[in-house]
Amino acid sequence: MDQLLITGGNRLSGEIPIAGAKNAALPILCAGLLTSDTVALSNVPHLQDVATMLKLLGQMGLAIERNGDAITLDGAAVDKLEAPYEMVKTMRAAILVLGPLVARFGEARVSLPGGCAIGSRPVDQHIKGLQAMGAEIAIEAGYIHAKAKRLRGTRIVTDMITVTGTENLLMAATLADGETVLENAAREPEVTDLANLLVAMGAKISGIGTDRLVVQGVERLHGASHTVIADRIETGTFLCAAAAAGGDVMLTNTRSDILDVALDKLREAGAIITSGPDWIRLQMAARPRAVSFRTTEYPGFPTDMQAQFMALNCIADGASHVSETIFENRFMHVQELNRLGAAITIDGHTAIVQGVDKLVGAPVMATDLRASASLVIAGLAAEGQTLVDRIYHLDRGYDRMEAKLCAVGADIQRVKA
C-alpha cells in the first residue's frame, strides 16, 4: 500500500496546474448514459474515482475512448443496467447512474452505497424524487431496483440540499414526460457544469445556478462536447498548502469566482491573493492568523475544504472555531492532526483549534479524501518527517498531488508500506 513521506519545512514557490473537477466529471460521465450518440469531454482529471466510474460505465456497455484529458463516450450499446456493490462501495458517486438509467431505459439495479467515514450519507432523497416521477422502487438485498415505463415530470422539494441528489434528479428529468421542477436544488458549480452539458445535449433546463431548476422533458438527447470545470477543491487545497508552508504560488487553469468564501478566509488568515480569469496567485510571508468558519452549501464555505483549513489553523496565531454542518462525522482528521502536536478539541459539531507554534512530524493515517489532504498540508508545515498512511483515499480525488507539490519545492516521496 502506498504512503507519502513528507519532510516538512520547505516554502512553496512556482506554478501548479489545476485539473478538472472530480465532482463535476463524475456526474458528467454518467450523463453519457442518457444518449445513444457521442459525448466528447475534455479536462477530465486522472483520478482513481474517474477510473472506477469508467470501469463501471464500461461494464454497462458504454464505449469509452480516452486520450489524455479527453474522453469520448458512446452510449449506443448500453445494455447492462446495473451498478454492483463492489463498485459502489469504493465510490459513492456510482449512485449517479440511477437517474440516467431509469430515464433512458426504464430500469436500473444499483447497490445502496451505505455509510462512509464522514457520515451515514443516505440516498433517500434520490429515491423520493424518482418515486415522485412515477418510478416503482424496491429495496432488496442491498440493491435499489427502479422501474418506470417513462418518468413523468412533477414538482419535487427535497428535504435538504443534496448535490448528487439534485444531479440524479436533473438527469432523470431531462427525458421525463412533461415539466419537472426541482425546488431546494443544490447550486454547487459542479451541478451547473452538468446542467450546461445537458443543455448542450438538447435538454431544456431553466434556472441553472439557482435553487429552482425547471426542466421540460424531451424525447431524446443527442451528443455534445464539453470541457469539465476546474476543480475548486483541488485549487483550495493547494492554496491552503502554500498558506501553511509559506511561499508564493500561482495556480493556473482555475477560477476564483467559484471559491469566494475560501479566498476571503485565506485573506483573513494573512495571505495576499490576486487573480485573473484563469489563475490565482497566493503569497504568504508570515505566520497565518486563525480563522473561524462554518461549513454550508454553496456559495457558503465548502465542507470539502474544512479539513484543509483546519490544518492551517493548527499552526495559526490564535484560536478558531470550525463548525461542520453538512456531515455528522467529518472530524476524523482531528485525532491525527493532534498526533502531530496540534491542540484541537471537539464539542459536538464544532472543533476548537488552539494554534500552536509548531507541529512535529509523526506517522499518521488518512481516513477519507479531504482528511488525507489536511495531513499532507500539516506535514508540509511540520518539523521533521510525517508518514501518511492509506493514501488510496487521496488518490481518489487528487491527480498526483505529491508530484504537483514537489514541482513547487515540497519534499514528498511516495513509498511502499
Ligand X SMILES: C=C(OP(=O)(O)O)C(=O)O
Per the annotation, binding residues for phosphoenolpyruvate are 22-23
Site string for ligand UD1, 82-121 (x = CB under 6 A): ----------xx-------------------------x-x
What's the rounded Cα separation, in Å, for the pair 356 and 300? 27
Among 93, 95, 173, 375, binds ligand X (CB under 6 A): 93
- Single out the residue of 60, 62, 103, 126 in contact with ligand UD1 (rule: CB under 6 A): 126
Residue from 76, 77, 139, 160 binding ligand UD1 (CB under 6 A)? 160
Q: How far apart are CA 356 and CA 341, in angstroms?
A: 8
Which partner, ligand X, ligand UD1, none, binds residue 119 by CB below 5 to 8 Å per kind? ligand UD1
What are the grid coordinates assigned to 224, written together? 455534445
Q: Give the integer Cα–Cα distance in Å for 45 and 24.
A: 10
Answer yes or no whether residue 122 interacts with ligand UD1 by CB under 6 A. yes
Round the CA-based radius of gyration of the chain to a whole number and report it: 21
Residues 295-314 that bind ligand UD1 (CB under 6 A): 303-304
Least spacing, CB of residue 235 vs ligand UD1, in Å: 14
Return the number of the residue (330 or 404) whose C-beta is nearest ligand X.
330
Q: Which of ligand UD1, ligand X, none interacts with 162 (beta carbon under 5 to 8 A by kind)?
A: ligand UD1
**Is residue 304 near ligand X by the rule CB under 6 A?**
yes
Nearer to ligand X, 10 or 237 (CB): 237
Give the pairing type, strands 279-284 and 272-276.
Answer: antiparallel
Per DSSP, 141 falls in state T
Find all residues with CB under 8 Å of 194, minimum gap 6, and list them: 24, 27, 28, 31, 167, 170, 171
Least distance (Å) between residue 273 CB and ligand UD1: 23
Spatial distance between the Cα atoms of 302 and 294, rounded to a whole number of angstroms:
9
Window 314 to 353, contacts with ligand X (CB under 6 A): none
Spot the catalytic one: 116, 240, 314, 406. 116
- Decide: 344 and 352 in contact? Cβ < 8 Å: yes
Neighbouring CB atoms inside 10 A of 369's CB total 23
Closest to ligand X by CB, 250 vs 369, is 369
Under the binding rule (CB under 6 A), the answer on residue 123 touching ligand UD1 is yes
Would you call 154 exposed, middle or buried from its count of C-beta atoms within 10 A (0-12, 13-18, 19+)? middle
**Residue 381 binds which one of ligand X, ligand UD1, none, with CB within 5 to 8 A depending on kind?**
none
| Residue in the block written with cell 462536447 | 225
For ligand X, what does the binding mask look like between residues 349 and 388, x meaning CB under 6 A? Answer: --------------------xx------------------
Estimate the share of the chain in helix, then strand, then coil, as percent rounded to the nearest 5: 35, 30, 35
Nearest to 326 by CA among 299, 349, 293: 349
Name the one residue in this structure whose C-alpha cell is 478558531: 320
**Partner touching 397 among ligand X, ligand UD1, none, CB below 5 to 8 Å by kind:** ligand X
Contacts of 51 (CB under 8 A, 6+ apart): none
Q: Does the footprint of ligand UD1 cover residue 183 (CB under 6 A)?
A: no
In sequence order, the β-bridge partners of residue 385 are: 7
Query: Which residue do the cell numbers 488568515 mark?
Result: 269
Binding mask 21-40 for ligand X (x = CB under 6 A): --x-----------------
Residues 231 and 302: beta-carbon distance below 8 Å: no
Interaction of residue 164 with ligand UD1, rule CB under 6 A: yes
The one of ligand UD1, ligand X, none whose footprint includes residue 125, by CB under 5 to 8 A per kind, is ligand UD1
Q: Where are the beta strands (DSSP E) in 167-237?
A: 179-183, 204-206, 212-216, 224-227
Q: Is 314 a catalytic residue?
A: no
What, of ligand UD1, ligand X, none, does residue 374 touch, CB below 5 to 8 Å by kind?
A: none
Rounded Cα distance, 6 and 413, in Å: 7
Considering only 271, 282, 326, 359, the residue that binds ligand UD1 (CB under 6 A) is 326
CB 412 within 8 A of CB 406: yes
- As measured in angstroms, the least distance from the Cβ of 304 to ligand UD1 is 5
Q: Residues comprising the binding site for UDP-N-acetyl-alpha-D-glucosamine? A: 92, 121-125, 304, 326
Residues lying near ligand X in the complex (CB under 6 A): 23, 92-93, 304, 369-370, 397
Active site residues: 116
